[in-house]
Amino acid sequence: MLERRFNPITGEWVMISSSRQKRPNLPKDSCPICPGVLELPGEYDLVSFENRFPALKKDAPNVENNSNVLIKDKSQGICEVVVYTEKHNSELSYMPIYQIEKLINMWADRTKELSSYEFIKYVFIFENKGKEVGATLPHPHGQLYAFPFLPPRIQLKIESLEKWYSEKNSCAICDIVKEEKEQNERIVYETENIIALVPFYARYPYEVHVYPKRHVETIYELSNKEKKEFAEVLRVITNKYNGLFNMPFPYMMMFFQKPFNINKTTHFFHFHVEFISPMRGPNLIKWVASVESGTWAFINPIEPEQAAKQLRDVEVKLDEI
Amino acid sequence: MNILNNYFDGEYLEFNKDNYSIKLKIEKIPEGYIIRGKVKGKLGKIDIFDDFADEDLFINNWQSWSPTKKIKVLNYKYNIPDDWKKTAKYSAHPMPEYLENNIISDYFIAKKNKVYGFLTSKIAHPFFEVKDNKIIACLEYFEKNADEYIDIEPLIILENNEMEKLLEIYADYVKFENNPKFSKWNPVGWSSWYHYYEELTWQDTLKNLELSKEYNYEVFQLDDSWQKDIGDWIPKDSFPGFDIIANKIKEYGYIPGLWLAPFSVSEISEVFLKHKDWLVKDENGEPKVAYINWRKNIYALDTTHPEAQEHLKNIFLNMRNNGIHYFKTDFLFAGAIPGKRYVEVTPIEAYNIGMKIIREAIGEDFILGCGAPILPSIGYVDGMRISADTAPFYKPNDLDFVYPNAYYALRNVITRYFMNGKWWWNDPDCLILRTEDTELNDKIIEMYSYVSGLLNNMILQSDDLSKTIKKDVYFNSLKLRGGIPHVKGLMNDNYSFEIEAFNTNIGNVKMHVDLEKINFKLEYDEDYPQLNKNTVLREEDNRLFHYYEERDNNA
Ligand SMILES: [Zn+2]
Ligand SMILES: [Zn+2]
């Protein structure tokens, strides 16, 4: 079954994706995205391809609504697997910056292409890294979901940014960047055009946000220089994560950009990245349990200023590849 | 907030005048307000809002060829030359006398940090009048009788930001209101006009097709020259039939395009001689001259007359069925002149009816609008001329009117930049890239081309390709496209602007351009890895794979 269902209690759309084609038999320990194994027949540099088991499909089956209460719709969208490199034993934290720059350009092009479909309202780029966050494949890759609706947290971000703009006539993130630079307590790493910090309002212990200092609404509006620095910042943050407890650090990396095709102004949306991790110490997991899951109210056991200092202090050598 | 001296705080503001009743409603948006409403009665000119004016205003005139620019309100007058008043007054405005005696701005107007703009023009002609230090938002209904309430054209007021940003936001709201579906294709091609004018022959066409191979055009468009007469839209004897024209152009891999003026009918055309009832009439019931051109009186097709409608539809069907798929539709204002029609509608409604017929006839083929009222064309055209005709000369000291002049054409390419990609693709008019038969020097040629490219506009070249051509300028201007441009300096006195475009085909580019001094400077972003994309469909499960790899620039 592939459809989405509406929850009138919360206003959420839930994607139901239960059809599982027979998973091809692969020899143990073989990687489906290594060249020549399963998905990618030969050598490649970077590639983005439609997910074999998608939650959203471009040609999703039509869905008939039989009820005015239990409402459903077709899951029309696009889910892609984004492969960063053909090198199996690599990861963002030590990939050459030049390769990350290319990756950024691919993300930008994917965004541009997918947003040209009228039915796509949101392009969400992300990476789950580590088995603690459910990623089983070590080969460096991420994913993207091109949604036919605005997911609730995106809706919330738009509303909050809009409210801020209506009241103050400025962009909240532009204001935050200014203030954080002045206070200089939570900055983890900074280049001329990009800033990475543990936000004042961090929900997770080692949450890191990356903000371009210039107001851009999408990843494809970044300048070449900004893209270069953005690549460096992604490389540094993931590397600092690994250095924090001297262990492979699991994280979720999520990109937020303006929505598309929604017939509403969102020029106050400021492109940004959120890194979150379930780790709260060496071998200690912060579980997202009842309070967080049920109410979306978070309790952070570590002061953001403290987390920022710890991350700032992790040394990163940029030339070691 | 004050509306016409009535303080307003509730849901609706309702008032009755001698001839009409109106209800207005204010909607708060993040950037300001939208005023919507309903009106009924015998409708003439209706004022719906006013606010204080500044000394400097940014104004817009109603159609493709008209200026959009900053003015100093003191002593400003729209100079309509006398000969123009006699020959083509409706090309300047649907109410030309009113334009002569008042400071008006059609559709939108701006001051330093405020933009006022109407979102639609479906029934009325919306404009702003500047009088006694005030900006007054008006709707002209041309004496329409509305027995029931009809929706007014909504008005938006945007404030507290730099004007250019507000114009971009205004363009967004106009887009949301009209929801235009236009082609995703932003054309590149060739047009015959700015070298051959009315003298183009079929031999010239064949010659240029043969010479065009190295330019990678997408469309090849013949301009005014091929037709029997204005109004009789079939090829004249020295041209082959539509099918042969189309097939010949297709042989070279291009989309065949033709120019026509679908609402115009000349005094010696067959349509005029046989079907005077199809034309817009004057007060005495005689066909009304819409304008004079080609040394002939030109009349306007009455788009409300059922037979004229059928005729209009068939013109396009006939061309389309024979393989023409790109239409440069010119002198469109003729469809919107005031006058007597078969059905009593406003000139704006008549125009909308005519454009709808054309759009329905040609389906998804490309329509370029030209000589067209701005707001009413949204949703009907894929591309739109946003400037006066260009020319092989550049004359900063000439009259700022709808006359051909590369100087004022380029000015408008910049001042109307915010419409591009939101309402349609802006057509900056053709690039003239030859170095013979032209008064343009290299600097002007480059400046015009690079501004057009950087603003991600349509690129059509218009030269006899056997001349010496600045081919590198053509290809460079294509490289500058694809980005998201912003302009600064629209309120500057001396036509010097700064254009910044993000994510063009070669990254970020900044351009300082000074139209008066004929000077420009391009600044490029740092190099970055450019990618080639190769998309492969896996047949077994119908999945797309997008392979990216670094582009080998030496290959
Ligand atoms: Zn692998
Ligand atoms: Zn911002």
Distance CA(A305)–CA(B342), nearest Å, equals: 76
Distances (CA, A) of A207 to A145, A198, A315: 22, 6, 18
- Neighbouring residues of the ion ligand 2, judged by CB less than 5 Å: A 171, 173-174, 215, 270
Chain B partners of A228 at a C-beta cutoff of 8 Å? 526, 528
**Can you give the pTM of this predicted structure?**
0.95
Separation of CA A43 and ligand 1 centre (Å): 12
Q: Which of B124, B147, B109, B132 lies closest to B46, judged by CA?
A: B124
Among A81, A120, A226, A265, the residue to mutate for chain B (most B Cβ within 10 A) = A265
Neighbours of A246 (CB within 10 A): 9
Contact criterion met (CB below 8 Å) for B46 and B68: no
Residue pLDDT, tens place only, A213-257: 999 999 999 999 999 999 999 999 999 999 999 999 999 999 999
Which carries the bigger pLDDT value, residue B4 or residue A88? A88
Report the CATH fold assignment for A2-320.
HIT family, subunit A (3.30.428)
The distance of B168 to chain A (nearest Cα, Å) reads 10
Active site residue A139: no
The mean pLDDT value for A129-152 works out to 94
Q: How far apart are the first and last CA of chain B?
A: 63
* Residue carrying structure tokens 């309702």: B14
Q: Tokens standing for A74? A: 């077709």
The distance of A88 to chain B (nearest Cα, Å) reads 17
Chain A partners of B508 at a C-beta cutoff of 8 Å? 223-224
Distance CA(A55)–CA(A78), nearest Å, equals: 8
Active-site residue identified among A141, A209, A270, A272: A141
Contact criterion met (CB below 8 Å) for B444 and B190: no
Active site residue B330: yes
Chain B partners of A264 at a C-beta cutoff of 8 Å? 176
Q: Which of B472, B546, B484 lies closest to B509, judged by CA?
A: B484
Chain B partners of A97 at a C-beta cutoff of 8 Å? none
Neighbours of B516 (CB within 10 A): 12
Ligand nearest to the CA of A177: 2
Specify the length of chain A in residues: 321
Q: Is residue A47 less than 8 Å (CB to CB) from chain B? A: yes
Distance CA(B240)–CA(B230), nearest Å, equals: 18
* B172/A223 Cβ within 8 A: no
Q: Is residue A105 less than 8 Å (CB to CB) from chain B? A: yes
* Burial track B40-69 (b if 16+ CB lie within 10 A, e otherwise): bbebebbebbbbebbeebbbbbbbbbbbbb
The distance of A64 to chain B (nearest Cα, Å) reads 24
Distance CA(A2)–CA(B231), nearest Å, equals: 55
Q: Which of B183, B165, B188, B257 lies closest to B480, judged by CA?
A: B188
Chain B partners of A106 at a C-beta cutoff of 8 Å? 531, 548
Positive or negative torsion for Cα A42, A46, A48, A52: positive
The per-residue pLDDT for B7 is: 60
The mean pLDDT value for A261-272 works out to 96
Say whether pLDDT at A52 is over 60. yes
Specify the length of chain B in residues: 555
DSSP A218: S
Written as one string, the DSSP assignment of B428-465 is: ---B--BSSS----HHHHHHHHHHHHHTT--EEE-S-T
Contact criterion met (CB below 8 Å) for B379 and B178: yes
The per-residue pLDDT for B555 is: 46
Distances (CA, A) of A319 to A97, A98, A117, B492: 9, 12, 40, 48
Q: Is residue B550 less than 8 Å (CB to CB) from chain A? A: yes
Mean pLDDT for each consecutive 10-residue tract of chain B (555 residues)? Answer: 62 85 92 96 96 97 96 91 92 93 96 97 98 96 97 96 95 98 97 98 98 96 98 98 98 98 98 98 96 97 98 98 98 98 98 98 98 98 98 96 95 98 98 97 98 98 98 97 96 96 91 97 90 95 96 62
* Residue carrying structure tokens 């919360």: A10
Q: Bridge-partner residues for B509, per DSSP?
A: B501, B524
Helices (H), chain A: 97-115, 152-168, 172-183, 224-244, 290-295, 304-313
Domain boundaries, chain A: 2-320
A11 φψ region: left (φ > 0), alpha (ψ -120 to 50), beta (else): left
Q: Which of A166, A168, A164, A193 lies closest to A181, judged by CA?
A: A193
* B546/A224 Cβ within 8 A: no
Rounded to 10°, the helix A224-244/A304-313 angle is 100
Say whether pLDDT at A23 is over 80. no
The phi and psi torsions of A109 (rounded to 5 degrees) equal: -70, -40
Contact criterion met (CB below 8 Å) for B301 and B287: no
Beta strands in B112-249, from DSSP E residues, in sequence order: 114-118, 125-131, 134-151, 155-159, 188-191, 219-222, 227-229, 232-235
The per-residue pLDDT for B553 is: 58
Q: Bridge-partner residues for A13, per DSSP?
A: A6
